[in-house]
A = this chain, B = another copy of it.
């Protein structure tokens, strides 16, 4: 294969370490003679379609180091699925851009949906004999990518959640009176993030009750659980997924929104599940209750990123660069953990794209807790602290040259 250029794209929801993968790819690419320049597509695949491309080859190592502490997709992101035939606009746009920049290698960072793009690009290049390889690099806070032990982005989100829940537990325990506090955690369809609240128990600040979206929500059971928990510990802490659904599969939050008749809001956005449960609890049990959303910070408060997670995010993209040069295409890099030793492998993209890894049913305890098996699984993912560089008390972020 002749010498060519590498391009990287970031897709889907941001994470605290998605730019660590960008770091790994750029630094590794510089080591290989097969790669001349490293480009970035702005706003994911739409940047490749529309020739919104920037050159990432000339950043200093000091600048690049800041990528490890810069959250969200520095290149911009998209939630765009390639459509149409190979002769149509999307694909022809891509072909034109690849030719213009002599791109032979594509690394695409994303989750389930983004791997659909990797799959379609692979088929396009294969069908039309375009000399370009493509690999998926995993990232998602939701940890719902299959075939990989975990996904970079999850560890840092889990670490933020564990530490935020600890802080909330400390804060809500100060007065000498009972109160139920309900904390809402992200994760629309998957309980991995909500389960991470259990990690706060590692310093004795764990929640009393945990509700994952994998378990159909029963109001009667919930109220019964709260009564019991409040009886044992009047400073009751409950963590719930934003994506809790009733037995008919309807989101509680949507039900609550209809209640509130708040039609100016986007109906597809979740949230307010904790508020809804607080309302139920106050109405039915007459106990003091408050709800708290810890919100977006779960995926972007990189001040407390997991060092393990940063290193893994770097590792998967370094591995991706090596393998793509070796001739691999049409796969996603996966993570293997074996007795604490982390390594990478490749899995064919068809078996990953658009699929979801569920939270193991056997790790859910009594419908309102998670087991020690989960703690054993997740604890190593949140370990280690990156030495964040601050200036004037504010975290420093990587900035693209304008």
Residues of A that sit less than 8 Å from B by CB: 14, 42-43, 46, 70-73, 76-79, 159, 162-164, 166-168, 170-176, 199-200, 202-205, 260, 262, 264-266, 269, 278-279, 282-283, 288, 290, 292-297, 299-304, 306, 308, 379, 382-385, 388, 390-397, 399
Please name 19 pairs of A and B residues whose Cβ atoms are closer than 8 Å in the assembled complex, sorted by A: A43-B175, A71-B167, A73-B174, A162-B393, A162-B394, A166-B394, A167-B303, A168-B297, A170-B397, A203-B395, A203-B396, A204-B397, A205-B394, A265-B282, A293-B295, A294-B295, A382-B393, A382-B394, A385-B390
* Given known A282-B265, A295-B292, contact A397–B78 (CB-CB < 8 A): no
How many Å lie between the Cα of A43 and that of B388 in the bound state? Answer: 36
Q: How far is the CA of A160 from the CA of B131 in the complex (A)?
A: 49
Q: Is B304 touching A203 in the complex (CB atoms < 8 A)?
A: no
User: How far does the Cβ of A381 sit from chain B's closest Cβ, in whole Å?
Assistant: 8
A5 and B163 CA atoms in complex are apart in Å by 36
The answer to whether B300 and A297 have CB atoms under 8 Å apart is no
Is A391 touching B203 in the complex (CB atoms < 8 A)?
yes
- Give the CA-CA distance A129 to B63 in the complex, in Å: 66
The verdict on A174 contacting B76 (CB below 8 Å), with A204-B399, A294-B295 known, is yes
Instruction: Enumerate chain B residues within 8 angstroms of A300, measured Cβ to Cβ.
Output: 167-168, 170-171
Q: Closest chain B residue to A206 by CB distance?
A: B394
Q: Which residues of B contact A79 (CB under 8 A)?
A: 175
Task: Using A43-B175, A73-B174, A171-B300 as known contacts, say yes or no to A394 and B78 having CB atoms under 8 A apart.
Answer: no
In whole angstroms, how far apart are the Cα atoms of A70 and B266 in the complex? 39
When distances are taken between beta carbons in the complex, the residues of chain B under 8 Å from A167 are 71-72, 296-297, 300-303, 395
Report how far A230 CA is from B164 CA in the complex, Å: 32
Give the residues in chain B near A283, CB-CB below 8 Å.
Answer: 264
Q: How far is the CB of A201 from chain B (nearest CB, A)?
A: 9
Whether the pair B292, A265 counts as a contact (CB closer than 8 A) is no
Q: How far is the CB of A270 from chain B (nearest CB, A)?
A: 12
Residue in contact with A304 in the complex, picked from B199, B266, B303, B392, CB distance below 8 Å: B303
Which of B166, B174, B308, B394 is the one whose CB lies under 8 Å from A77? Answer: B174
Distance (whole angstroms) from the CB of A119 to the closest CB of chain B = 22
What chain B residues lie within 8 Å of A399 (beta carbons)? 204
Question: Considering only CB atoms, which chain B residue lies closest to A393 in the complex?
Answer: B382
Q: Which residues of B contact A290 (CB under 8 A)?
A: 269
Q: Which of A172, A301, A306, A384 has the most CB of B within 10 A?
A: A301
Give every chain B residue within 8 A of A163 (Cβ-Cβ): 301, 303, 394-395
Distance from A154 Cβ to chain B, minimum over Cβ atoms (Å): 13
Given A260-B260, A293-B293, decide whether A171 and B14 contact each other with a Cβ distance below 8 A. Answer: yes
CA–CA, A200 to B163, complex, Å? 22
Which residues in B have their C-beta under 8 angstroms from that of A390? 385
C-alpha spacing A175/B76, complex, angstroms: 6
Please give, as numbers and ranges, the residues of chain B lying within 8 Å of A278 by CB-CB distance: 264-265
The 4 closest A-B pairs by CB, nearest first: A382-B393, A171-B300, A264-B282, A167-B300
On chain B, the residues within 8 Å of A43 by CB distance are: 175-176
Whether A174 and B14, one on each chain, are in contact in the complex, defined by CB atoms closer than 8 angstroms, is yes
Other 16 A-B pairs with CB < 8 A, given A78-B176, A167-B300, A202-B391:
A14-B171, A46-B176, A159-B394, A163-B303, A164-B301, A170-B300, A171-B300, A199-B392, A199-B394, A260-B262, A264-B279, A292-B295, A294-B297, A297-B297, A304-B304, A306-B393
